[in-house]
């Protein structure tokens, strides 16, 4: 139950408990928010485990609600997923993240090697126009495709394996990098993983939480590190909050880390400041 908690919203269908009227209101609210530019993108640093240098940032969406304040994804992503608005919203996040990376690079040589990660939802991943959207976002920002990493979850891959594989290969042909998010919380088999053009494995926070005190979690993370090495995929540990966790994960050989210890999700301007600090580049 502990491991399912964080991702529970992904399988919770909000339409099940909402009246038709509430559903229509939600949709109208989200549409209004999109039209009135109420969404924001925050960026969280991903660092090299050994040097602590920022190698990438993950784009994380927020809703600057006129009445309720800054809302996190748990307040609206599942609704947007259910009513389909996640497709235009996700496209907006993608375009925002690409143009922001181009802007950081134009403003500072410290951002030259920086990459950006963007989350895809299940619905976006199934959307037939995805590959064109990604290509257009890159072209309009003038960004090389290898600067963009798209994050998808295991469950998205398992839903329809054949189509998922085709989509991944089409994205790979574009030249973007692919990451499996929340790794370990789904059920992807090893033989299946081997067939996928995946560059990065992101180890879910639930395996990181007690890794400094729980030998079982050490064994699990160690196994994923070995898997990454065998399949030539980079590993990222998510949700690192303490130096004890960092220490343990670094010794296991995890390549990159993400978490409050290194930095919370912040505005684009704060990332620019962070990059200017000599120790971060």
Report the interface residues with ligand C2E, using CB under 6 A: 44, 59-61, 72-73, 77, 90, 93, 119-121, 181-182, 239-241, 258-260, 265
End-to-end CA separation in angstroms for the chain: 39
DSSP code, position 266: B
Please say whether the dihedral angle defined by the alpha carbons of residues 84, 89, 90 and 91, taken in this order, is positive or negative: positive
Contact pattern for Ca ion over residues 104 through 133, marking x by CB under 5 A: ---------------x--------------
Phi, psi (rounded to 5 degrees) for 3: -70, -25
12 binds, among Ca ion, ligand C2E, none (CB under 5 to 8 A by kind): none
Q: How many whole angstroms from its chain centre is CA 123?
A: 15
Segment near Ca ion (CB under 5 A); pick from 106-114, 142-150, 157-165, 237-245: 237-245
Closest distance to ligand C2E from the beta carbon of 240 (Å): 6
**For residues 209 and 238, which CB has a smaller minimum distance to Ca ion in the complex?**
238
Q: Which residues touch 45 (CB under 8 Å, ≥6 apart)? A: 54, 56, 57, 258, 262, 263, 271, 274
Interatomic CA distance for residues 248 and 7, integer angstroms:
25
181 binds Ca ion per the rule CB under 5 A: yes
Interatomic CA distance for residues 70 and 180, integer angstroms:
28
Q: Which two tokens stand for residue 113?
A: 């090697």
Closest distance to Ca ion from the beta carbon of 113 (Å): 21
**For residues 26 and 44, which CB has a smaller minimum distance to ligand C2E in the complex?**
44
44 binds Ca ion per the rule CB under 5 A: no
Closest distance to ligand C2E from the beta carbon of 181 (Å): 5
**In sequence order, what are the beta bridge partners of 60?**
42
**For residues 73 and 108, which CB has a smaller minimum distance to ligand C2E in the complex?**
73
Closest distance to ligand C2E from the beta carbon of 243 (Å): 12
Q: Which residue has the tokens 């560059």?
A: 199
Residues that bind Ca ion (CB under 5 A): 119, 151, 181-182, 238
């Amino acid at each position: 139950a502990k491991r399912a908690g964080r991702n529970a919203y992904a399988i919770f269908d909000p339409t099940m408990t909402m009246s038709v009227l509430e559903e229509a209101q939600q949709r109208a609210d989200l549409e209004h928010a999109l039209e009135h530019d109420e969404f924001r993108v925050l960026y969280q640093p991903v660092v090299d485990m050994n040097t602590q240098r920022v190698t990438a940032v993950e784009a994380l969406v927020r809703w600057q609600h006129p009445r309720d304040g800054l809302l996190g994804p748990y307040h609206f992503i599942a609704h947007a997923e259910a009513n389909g608005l996640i497709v235009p919203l996700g496209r907006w996040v993608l375009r925002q993240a690409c143009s922001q990376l181009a802007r950081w690079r134009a403003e500072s040589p410290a951002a030259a090697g920086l990459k950006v990660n963007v989350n895809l939802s299940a619905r976006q991943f199934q959307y037939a126009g995805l590959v064109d959207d990604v290509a257009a976002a890159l072209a309009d920002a003038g960004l090389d495709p290898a600067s963009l990493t798209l994050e998808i979850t295991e469950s998205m891959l398992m839903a329809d394996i054949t189509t998922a594989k085709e989509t991944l290969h089409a994205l790979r042909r574009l030249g973007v990098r692919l990451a499996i998010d929340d790794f370990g919380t789904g059920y992807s088999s090893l033989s299946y993983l081997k067939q996928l053009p995946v560059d990065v494995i992101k180890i879910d926070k639930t395996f990181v939480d007690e890794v400094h005190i729980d030998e079982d979690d050490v064994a699990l993370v160690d196994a994923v590190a070995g898997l990454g090495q065998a399949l030539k995929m980079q590993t990222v540990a998510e949700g690192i909050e303490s130096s004890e966790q960092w220490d343990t994960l670094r010794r296991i050989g995890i390549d990159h880390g993400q978490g409050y210890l290194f930095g919370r999700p912040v505005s684009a301007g704060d990332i620019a400041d962070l990059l200017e600090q000599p120790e971060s580049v």
